[in-house]
A and B are shown apart, each in its own frame.
Chain A
Amino acid sequence: MTVETPERAGINVPDREGLYASMFRMRRFEERAYELFLQNHIHGTMHLGLGQEAVAAGVAAALRPDDYSLGTYRGHNHIIARGAPLDRVMAELFGRATGLCKGKGGSMHLTSVDHGAYGSYAIVGAHLPIACGIAWSSKVRGTDQVTVCFFGDGATNIGAFHEALNLAVVWRLPVVFVCENNLYMEFTPIGSVTAVVHPAGDRAPAYSLPSVVVDGNDVEAVYGATAPAVAAARAGEGPALLEMLTYRYSGHSRTDPGAYRPAGELDQWKERDPIAAFRRRLTETRADMDRLERMEADVEREVAEAVESSLNAPQPDPDDLLTDVFASNETRWRT
Chain B
Amino acid sequence: MAHLTFREAIAAGIAQEMERDETVMLLGEDVAAGGGVFKATQGLLDRFGPGRVWDTPISEQAIVGAAMGGAMTGLRPVAEIMFSDFLATCWDGIANQIAKMRYMTGGQVSLPLVIRCANGGGVHFGAQHSQSAENWPMAIPGLKVVAPSTPADAKGLLAASIRDDDPVVFFEHKWLYGSEGEVPEGDHITPLGQAQVLRSGGDVTLLGLGWTALLAMQAAERLAEEQQMQAEVIDLRCLVPLDACTVLESVERTGRLVTVEENPRPLGWGAEVVSIVMEEGFDWLDAPARRVTTPSVPLPAAPLLEDLARPSVDDIIETALSLIS
Tell me the minimal C-beta distance from B241 to chain A in angstroms.
6
Bound Cα distance A159, B112 (Å): 25
A-to-B contact residues, CB < 8 Å? 68, 99-105, 109, 111-113, 118-119, 121, 123, 126-138, 140-141, 147, 159-160, 163-164, 166-167, 170-171, 323-328, 331-335
Interface: B274 (CB within 8 A): no
Tell me the minimal C-beta distance from A117 to chain B in angstroms.
10
Tell me the minimal C-beta distance from A245 to chain B in angstroms.
27
Could you list 15 A-B pairs, sorted by A, with CB under 8 Å?
Answer: A103-B106, A111-B104, A127-B65, A128-B65, A129-B62, A129-B93, A130-B66, A131-B69, A133-B70, A137-B73, A137-B74, A147-B69, A163-B65, A167-B57, A324-B103
Q: Mark each residue of chain B from 43 to 58: 1 if its CB lies under 8 Å from any CB of chain A, else 0.
A: 0000000010010110
A133-B69, A167-B59, A334-B244 known; A123-B105 Cβ under 8 A: no
Residue of A nearest to B60 (CB): A163
A118-B109, A333-B242 known; A327-B102 Cβ under 8 A: yes
A128-B65, A131-B69 known; A335-B59 Cβ under 8 A: no
A129-B69, A133-B68, A134-B70 known; A119-B105 Cβ under 8 A: yes
Pairwise interchain contact A132-B66, C-beta atoms closer than 8 A = yes
Pairwise interchain contact A335-B243, C-beta atoms closer than 8 A = yes
**Cβ 8 A contact of A334, one of B97, B105, B241:** B241
Pairwise interchain contact A323-B107, C-beta atoms closer than 8 A = yes
Pairwise interchain contact A166-B62, C-beta atoms closer than 8 A = yes
Chain A contacts of B72 at CB under 8 A?
A: 118, 130, 133-134, 137
Pairwise interchain contact A126-B93, C-beta atoms closer than 8 A = yes
Tell me the minimal C-beta distance from A208 to chain B in angstroms.
14
Bound Cα distance A109, B54 (Å): 30
Number of interface residues of B (CB under 8 A): 52
Bound Cα distance A122, B204 (Å): 48
Pairwise interchain contact A133-B67, C-beta atoms closer than 8 A = yes
A128-B65, A136-B70, A164-B62 known; A104-B241 Cβ under 8 A: no
Pairwise interchain contact A109-B105, C-beta atoms closer than 8 A = yes
16 more CB-based (< 8 A) A-B contacts, given A104-B105, A137-B72, A332-B241: A99-B106, A119-B101, A127-B65, A128-B65, A129-B59, A129-B61, A130-B68, A134-B70, A138-B73, A140-B75, A164-B65, A334-B243, A334-B276, A335-B193, A335-B241, A335-B245
Number of A-B contacts (CB under 8 A): 170
Pairwise interchain contact A331-B104, C-beta atoms closer than 8 A = no
Residue of B nearest to A120 (CB): B104
Bound Cα distance A14, B193 (Å): 55
A101-B105, A141-B75, A334-B276 known; A126-B241 Cβ under 8 A: no
Pairwise interchain contact B166-A331, C-beta atoms closer than 8 A = yes
**Cβ 8 A contact of A111, one of B25, B105, B240, B245:** B105
Chain A contacts of B75 at CB under 8 A?
A: 136-137, 140-141
Pairwise interchain contact A327-B242, C-beta atoms closer than 8 A = no
A126-B93, A134-B69, A141-B74 known; A163-B62 Cβ under 8 A: yes
Pairwise interchain contact A105-B105, C-beta atoms closer than 8 A = yes
Residue of B nearest to A121 (CB): B97
Q: Mark each residue of chain B from 78 to 100: 1 if its CB lies under 8 Å from any CB of chain A, else 0.
A: 00000000000000110011000
Chain A contacts of B104 at CB under 8 A?
A: 101, 104-105, 109, 111, 119
Pairwise interchain contact A137-B70, C-beta atoms closer than 8 A = yes
Residue of A nearest to B102 (CB): A324
Bound Cα distance A323, B103 (Å): 8
Tell me the minimal C-beta distance from A316 to chain B in angstroms.
9
Residue of B nearest to A161 (CB): B61
A136-B66, A140-B51, A170-B57 known; A333-B110 Cβ under 8 A: no
Bound Cα distance A104, B109 (Å): 13
Chain A contacts of B57 at CB under 8 A?
A: 163, 166-167, 170
Interface: B108 (CB within 8 A): yes
Interface: B210 (CB within 8 A): no
Residue of B nearest to A326 (CB): B166
Bound Cα distance A111, B102 (Å): 10
Bound Cα distance A328, B166 (Å): 9
A126-B97, A333-B242, A334-B244 known; A137-B106 Cβ under 8 A: no
Tell me the minimal C-beta distance from A53 to chain B in angstroms.
24
Chain B contacts of A332 at CB under 8 A?
A: 241
Interface: B268 (CB within 8 A): no
Interface: B64 (CB within 8 A): yes
Chain B contacts of A118 at CB under 8 A?
A: 69, 72-73, 109
Interface: B151 (CB within 8 A): no
Chain B contacts of A123 at CB under 8 A?
A: 92, 96-97
Kindly name the residue among A102, A130, A141 whose own CB sees the greatest number of chain B CB atoms within 10 A: A130
Pairwise interchain contact A163-B59, C-beta atoms closer than 8 A = yes
Tell me the minimal C-beta distance from A310 to chain B in angstroms.
16
Interface: B142 (CB within 8 A): yes
A109-B105, A111-B105, A325-B102 known; A137-B61 Cβ under 8 A: no
Tell me the minimal C-beta distance from A192 to chain B in angstroms.
25
Pairwise interchain contact A132-B107, C-beta atoms closer than 8 A = no
Bound Cα distance A102, B105 (Å): 8
Bound Cα distance A335, B193 (Å): 8
Pairwise interchain contact A101-B106, C-beta atoms closer than 8 A = yes
Kindly name the residue among B23, B61, B93, B110 whose own CB sees the greatest number of chain A CB atoms within 10 A: B61
**Cβ 8 A contact of B25, one of A140, A160, A164, A166:** A140
